Amino acid sequence: MLERYKLIFAYDGTNYFGSQRQANTPTVQKTLEKALTSIGWQGRTIFLAGRTDSGVHASGQVAAFDMRWEHTAQDLVKALNANLPDDMVVIRAEKTDKDFHPRFDALSRTYQYEVYFEPFRDPFIDRFAARIWPPIAWEGLNFRAGQVIGTHNFAAFGTPPRAEQSTIRKLTTSVWSKESDRWIYIVQASGFLYHMVRKLVYLQVAIAQGKIPEDTLVNLLLNPTQKILPGLAPARGLKLVNVEYPEGSGINNKRE
């Protein structure tokens, strides 16, 4: 019997040209579909909860697909992981409603961005965090993060998946936290524009470094049609960590 399955999976995005399938380049979607095909999947495409750019990581990405599988969900996890490369892993799987769509049914998505402060790059950290030097003030950075919370037109910070779609988004969380030698920016919203998180990080850091005026963030929210200053935080610091769904729609997507 053909049934719909939901997967929570993680990947190091360094060697992938984003999550969406592309011709002649390795992507997250193509890699997972190849592993599924190797265990008997005959579908045409899988559905993902969110798009990640080239080099962006995930610890809580969600996929859905239809498949005939005569074994347990845990067996599906084991079979897929046996056929996936070392930089990708399925964490959990379950049968779900036949109409479940990981993108359209999502209530919110949470990303985190990691930075560290060193005069020279650290090869043991640099794969998953962006280096900043000299150090910047913590208090000012967190203050600016709070300025973007709420419902705003974020047209100056990115583009929607399709040109005709709205650029209004509601941010419920925007905060920096300290963890050992790293600072982590955590941002949650109902949805994000293309490049939105990386532009938010770039602007907050650039203001803290004194490279652009203090009121830049607020001005871009009040005047969303103005051209944004050039700049984009490196992809390697960004990670999709969680996708939230209505209660009862399936397993918790946070990695335990």
SS (H, E, C) 31-83: HHHHHHHHCCCCCCCCEECCCCCCCCEEEEEEEEEEECCCCCHHHHHHHHHHH
The CA-CA-CA angle for residues 54, 196, 99, to 5°, reads 75
Of 53, 105, 122, 181, the catalytic one is: 53
Examine the residue annotation and report whether 53 is marked as an active-site residue of this protein. Answer: yes
C-alpha–C-alpha distance, residues 56 and 101, integer Å: 22
Exposure b/e, 20-39, CB count within 10 A at least 16 = b: ebeeeeebbbbbbbebbeee
For residues 84 and 250, what is the distance between their CA atoms, to the nearest angstrom? Answer: 24
**162 secondary structure, DSSP code:** S
Catalytic residues: 53
